[in-house]
Amino acid sequence: MLGREVTPDDEAGRGIGKTADLALGFGGAVSAWRRFAPDDARSDAEIQSDVAKWRRAHPNIKRFWRRLDDAVRRSIRNGRRIALGNLACEYVAGNLYLTLPGGRRLAYPEARFGPGKFDDTTQVHFKDNSKGAWREARGWHGTWCENAVQAISRDLLAAALQRLEAAGYPIVFTATTR
């Protein structure tokens, strides 16, 4: 993305790379960049240039976003299970399910198409209770990707903790961030 090698001593390059991965990895753009780097004094156009460079440097991530969003939409449209590698999307009785590699399913209740964030677009709308009360939410490729990555990470951690306990190592502390 920067057009040069970033070494452990390159604090500026590492800072830009970290911000780029955190802000852009799930489909974000300039506004996401600004949330992760509020002190970045560059113009939106300069940041947008970095967004474009990051996306060009990560074509497989962009392809995954499109394929995952397409699988979600096709599943809702035709009510069939759509496999995407080790993930699967399924629309059953008005609910969208994203099945993870380990078999656990993420649920998006009352999933349906509705107006998108941008003119003349549609998005998947669903009910969400992640903040303690049911509310309307809109999903897009960033939502599906972030939810899948974080849920799979949780599953890997849980499995590792079980193996550690089975091997006689007591788990005394875990930490998460919000």
Our count of domains for the chain comes to 2
Question: Domain check: are 117 and 45 in the same one?
Answer: no
Can you tell me the distance from the alpha carbon of 161 to that of 175, in angstroms, rounded to the nearest whole number?
13
**Which residue range forms the structural domain that includes residue 15?**
11-57
Can you tell me the distance from the alpha carbon of 111 to that of 76, in angstroms, rounded to the nearest whole number?
8
- Tell me the pLDDT tens digit for each residue of 4-62: 889 999 998 898 889 999 999 999 999 999 999 999 999 999 999 999 999 999 999 99
**Residue 95 has which token pair?**
């609910």
Question: Domain check: are 50 and 81 in the same one?
Answer: no
Note whether 85 and 140 are within 8 A (CB): no
- Tell me the pLDDT tens digit for each residue of 95-105: 999 999 999 99
- Tell me the pLDDT tens digit for each residue of 152-177: 999 999 999 999 999 999 999 888 76
Torsion of CA 121, 124, 130, 136, to 10 degrees: 70
Taking residue 127's Cβ as centre, other Cβ atoms within 10 Å add up to 14
Closest CA to 20 of 4, 36, 6, 5: 36
Band of residue 3 on the pLDDT scale cut at 50, 70, 90: confident
Please check whether residue 176 lies inside any domain of the structure: no
The pLDDT value given to residue 177 = 67
The pLDDT value given to residue 4 = 85
